Amino acid sequence: MSVLKNDLILRTLRGEKTERIPVWMMRQAGRYLPQYMELRNKYSFFERCQTPDLACQITLQPVDIIGVDAAILFSDILVVPQAMGLEVQLIESKGPILPHPIHSANDLTRIRVPNVHETLGYVFDAIKLIKKELNGRVPLIGFAGAPWTLLCYMVQGKGSKTFDEAKSFCFQQPALAHQLLQMITDTTIAYLKEQVVAGADTVQIFDSWGGLLSKADFETISLPYIQQIVAAIKPYAPVIVFAKGAWYSLNEMAQTGAAALGIDWCTPPEMARKFAGNTVVLQGNFDPAKLLSPIPIIQTEVKAMLQAFGGQHHIANLGHGILPNVPVSHAKAFVDTVKEWQPNV
């Protein structure tokens, strides 16, 4: 394994002060890139995801084109439910469909905690290839969905604004819900460990629907499982936890031992720091829709965001995934502005 030429993000995750703020973007390997759209038009989602060479090409695109300080594995959080035995359909522009969702104890017998080598080996193969092709240019981020967010899809069977079926499943059948959450957690721990073994330098847990829960419910249904995952992975690689919208539990999330916490754009940086305490690294939080602004506005607002985070213990990122209609030059303006910025002391 070659030595990393750019390890800014890893040093930041270790709590070190760095010469500048590292930057990457959620969904940086995605639909705003014409080079990605070419491959998307040729290959189905699962072809792109399960063919290490395609996953590798896509993962590297934003490193080459945009100049981010980290690559993030091209994959999807729903490969885990699929590996557990649930059918997952990912039809472009339609969102995911799980035609046989989990509603009962009987449904739980249809899924299992799988052997991740047998079911997700293609991910580890992709990681090995990506690391080889990156050749030490930047670190590689692995990832998985948080158990609550995966439960949302496994119970609701599709995307939703409220995921009320998933929530009522947890409220009406809590024992069953916790059994399912534990199965997802056990699978995720094995999955992320092997991502690290294959070469991932850090991993991010995406709790995209954490913020649909009240604080009390988040800390019952979601956080304990995130905590288990952080505890299991932390000895091997630093863990970034991003629970979108769950600002109210930043303090509790910081106590999981996560190296960094993702912050969405609706949580002001100063408030995020106050809630999360002074130790943990914060990652975020530019409004993805603001990348549709004219470039001079992007530059001004990115600098304001960097200043608000205080110029250290910060990884610059968006507050959620980049939108498909963002011009590449705007994404690049975001990254370049971070790279050129120095704090006003």
Closest CB to a copy of itself among 51 and 173?
A: 173
Pick from 43, 45, 46, 248 the residue near a copy of itself by CB under 8 A: 248
The reply on whether position 273 binds a copy of itself by CB under 8 A is no
- Catalytic residue, candidates 11, 20, 31, 137: 31
Q: Are 72 and 143 in contact (CB under 8 A)?
A: yes
Q: Is 251 in the site for a copy of itself (CB under 8 A)?
A: no
Question: What is the footprint of a copy of itself within residues 149-188 (CB under 8 A)?
Answer: 161-162, 164, 167-168, 171-172
Stretch that binds a copy of itself, among 5-13, 38-46, 180-188, 246-254 (CB under 8 A): 246-254
Q: Which position among 11, 20, 43, 76 bears the catalytic label?
A: 76
Residue partners of 168: CB distance under 8 A and separation at least 6: none
Show contacts with a copy of itself in window 286-345 (CB under 8 A): 287-290, 292-294, 297, 323, 325
Query: How far apart are CB 32 and a copy of itself at their closest, in Å?
Result: 12
**How many residues of this chain interact with a copy of itself, rule: CB under 8 A?**
33
Query: By C-beta, is 124 or 247 nearer to a copy of itself?
Result: 247
| Catalytic site includes residue 76 | yes
Q: Which is nearer to a copy of itself, 85 or 321 (CB)?
A: 321
Q: For a copy of itself, give the closer residue by CB, 62 or 288.
A: 288
Which listed residue (32, 36, 153, 191) is catalytic?
153
Cα–Cα dist 286/269, whole Å: 10
For the question of residue 31 being annotated catalytic, the response is: yes
Shortest Cβ 52–a copy of itself spacing (Å): 32
- The least distance separating a copy of itself from the CB of residue 287, rounded to whole angstroms, comes to 5
- Interaction pattern, residues 204-223, with a copy of itself; x per rule: CB under 8 A: -------xxxxxxx------
Which tokens go with 71?
């690559």
In the complex, the smallest distance separating the C-beta of residue 199 from a copy of itself, rounded to whole angstroms, is 33
Is 27 part of the annotated catalytic residue set?
yes
Active site positions, annotated? 27, 31, 40, 76, 153
Give residues in contact with a copy of itself (CB under 8 A): 161-162, 164, 167-168, 171-172, 211-217, 245-248, 265-268, 271, 287-290, 292-294, 297, 323, 325
